Amino acid sequence: MTNQVETPFAIDDTDSVRLLSRALARGGDFAELFFEHSLAISLHFEQEKVRNFSRHVDAGCGVRVVTGEASGYAYTEDLEVSAIAHACDTAAHIASGQPGVAPQKIERRERPDRYHPERCLIDLPFLERVAILRRADAAARAADPRVEAVEVSLVESRRQIRIVRSDGEQVEDDQPMLRMNVLVVVADGEKRQKAMEGGGGRLGLEYFDRHQPEDLARRAVEVALKMLDAKPAPAGEFPVVLAAGDSGVLFHEAVGHGLEADFNRKGTSNYSGRVGELVASSLCTVVDDPGLDTDRGCINVDDEGCEPQRRVLIRNGVLEGYMHDRISAKAMGAEPGSGRRESFRSLPMPRMSSTYLEAGEEDPEEILKAVSYGIYAKQFSGGQVNISNGDFVFSTTEAYLIENGRITAPLQGVNLIGNGPDCLSKVDAVGHDFVLSDGRWTCGKNGQGVPVGIGMPTLRISAMTVGGSEL
């Protein structure tokens, strides 16, 4: 645990109590002030030149008043007391006008310390920042003469937040984030393919101690070249082996969102009212853990000022619970800690942090050997999911044919079509090779994007519908 971080907010405890009193002037169960100051720098390097450099600062305060399950919300980009007071008056209109609770004396709560960058991009001279991008660009071009175009982007941000609640809790956090992407286009005659590699997390330039820019670039070239020779994907129902790591995005979307408590409280998830039931293969244990140090989904505190909770959502196939914010936790008799928001302009809601399927006991090679003909899916570009029933369609960016237990030809146009709960029930092998994705994912929900982590070991689904072009 550690003491509070230094933040750029000039509002003191006396001001905070007065503002919360104003927010609760018409009544309400509780109120909160969410202060945020964020700084982001971004560089984009294309065709051996810096094409874009930006520095963006954003700051403001959101005010929320909650009455039952209804929320009044207002925000301001002006951090003067008078402007925040006006936002308090606006948010207060959700209440009935009856006397409400009085704000408690402010007490600062300590929080975990899961991330502390050693070296920040923001502190580097401009030319040293550019040099990092040049290294990736040069490595990609040197990797193969068929490399036609290279784009490299590097983004670092620092988000400082303070949450002050009417129950007297105040907590602050300083949230770093680094992300690098390398996109390459390769050409061979009339054939062209592209691939992207990258990653990051809640850390600084020490990320490159483990992930050299050159390695990211070479990996992108390697995948793009493989896909140049990709054959059309078969269509039909086949066993599918999902590679460890980024394949976790499929379960994040097709299963994870259905386990967020707001959908279940409203009865719009296919997991509603099913706690204690078998909802997956007994080989599956699904966890949401905000405490994975420096991972993209890691947080010291959620965006309601609550202590983040590690939650076992599904244990050995049995549904154990959901991810909760304060409102759903109160309504369903659970613990909060999963309330997240994109910024001070947004209401918090139950969201995932780092969600993964735990490792099993099988050898990944043996999992493959048991497949006579099927699909090996390694990277995904995204997909569409129906939260109410779990139906999904996902497109791959890197996939291969499995023949006689071996990975053979690269495939193009692989779409995996299925249902989240049905796929979980058909998991018949889980590897011991758990991999956490390398910090590239942002999750969208109700127009809000938040950084998340995903992960999984190699696993096999006994049968899935594959949408391809070869019947």
Instruction: Give the class (CATH, top level) of 13-228.
Output: alpha beta
Taking residues 365-378, report their average pLDDT. 98
Question: 3-state class of 421 per DSSP?
Answer: helix
Residue 333, both tokens: 């008799």
- Between 192 and 69, the more confident residue is 192
Per-residue confidence (pLDDT) for residue 288, from 0 to 100 = 98
- pLDDT for 385 beyond 90: no
pLDDT range class, residue 388, cuts 50, 70, 90 = confident
Q: Which among 215, 257, 194, 225 is positioned nearest to 385, based on CA atoms?
A: 257
- pLDDT for 278 beyond 60: yes
Q: Break the chain into its structural domains and give their ranges.
A: 13-228, 232-467
- pLDDT for 4 beyond 60: no
Per-residue confidence (pLDDT) for residue 470, from 0 to 100 = 57
pLDDT range class, residue 2, cuts 50, 70, 90 = very low
Q: What is the pTM of this model?
A: 0.94
Per-residue confidence (pLDDT) for residue 123, from 0 to 100 = 86
The fraction of the chain above a pLDDT of 70, given in percent, is 98
Mean pLDDT value across the chain: 94
Taking residues 391-405, report their average pLDDT. 95
Q: How far apart are CA 313 and CA 364, in angstroms?
A: 24
**DSSP labels for 331-352?**
HHT-----EE-SSTTS--EE--
DSSP state at residue 234 = B
For 374, phi then psi, to 5°, come to: -170, -160
For 253, phi then psi, to 5°, come to: -80, -45
Amino acid at 166: S
pLDDT in tens, 294-339: 999 999 999 999 999 899 999 999 999 999 999 999 999 999 999 9
| End-to-end C-alpha distance for the chain, whole angstroms | 58
Residue with tokens 């960016």: 397
The residues that bridge with 181 in the sheet, in sequence order, are 153, 198
Q: How far apart are CA 181 and CA 198, in angstroms?
A: 4
- pLDDT for 1 beyond 50: no
Per-residue confidence (pLDDT) for residue 121, from 0 to 100 = 85
Per-residue confidence (pLDDT) for residue 5, from 0 to 100 = 54
Per-residue confidence (pLDDT) for residue 228, from 0 to 100 = 95
Query: Element (H or E) spanning 369, and its range?
Result: helix 364-369
Question: 3-state class of 432 per DSSP?
Answer: coil
* β-strands 107-108, 147-165 pairing: unpaired
DSSP state at residue 235 = -
Q: How far apart are CA 409 and CA 426, in angstroms?
A: 25
- pLDDT for 100 beyond 80: no
Residue 27, both tokens: 């009544």
Q: Which residues contact 189 (CB under 8 A, 6 or more apart)?
A: none
Q: How far apart are CA 70 and CA 189, in angstroms?
A: 60
pLDDT range class, residue 6, cuts 50, 70, 90 = low
pLDDT in tens, 430-447: 999 999 999 889 999 999
- pLDDT for 97 beyond 80: no
3-state SS of 25-68 is: CCCCCEEEEEEEEEEEEEEEEECCEEEEEEEEEEEEEEEEEEEC
Q: Which of 28-32, 175-179, 464-468 has the lowest mean pLDDT?
A: 464-468
Per-residue confidence (pLDDT) for residue 99, from 0 to 100 = 72
Q: How far apart are CA 18 and CA 24, in angstroms?
A: 10
pLDDT in tens, 280-306: 999 999 999 999 999 999 999 999 999
Contact 135, 214 (CB under 8 A): yes
CB atoms within 10 A of CB 470: 12
Q: Which residues contact 158 (CB under 8 A, 6 or more apart)?
A: 38, 39, 40, 120, 122, 174, 175, 176, 177
Contact 435, 364 (CB under 8 A): no
CB atoms within 10 A of CB 196: 19
Q: How far apart are CA 145 and CA 269, in angstroms?
A: 50
pLDDT in tens, 135-179: 999 999 999 999 999 999 999 999 999 999 999 999 999 999 999
Taking residues 227-250, report their average pLDDT. 95
CA distances to 23, 71, 90, 95, 99 from 67, rounded to whole Å, are 12, 6, 14, 6, 12
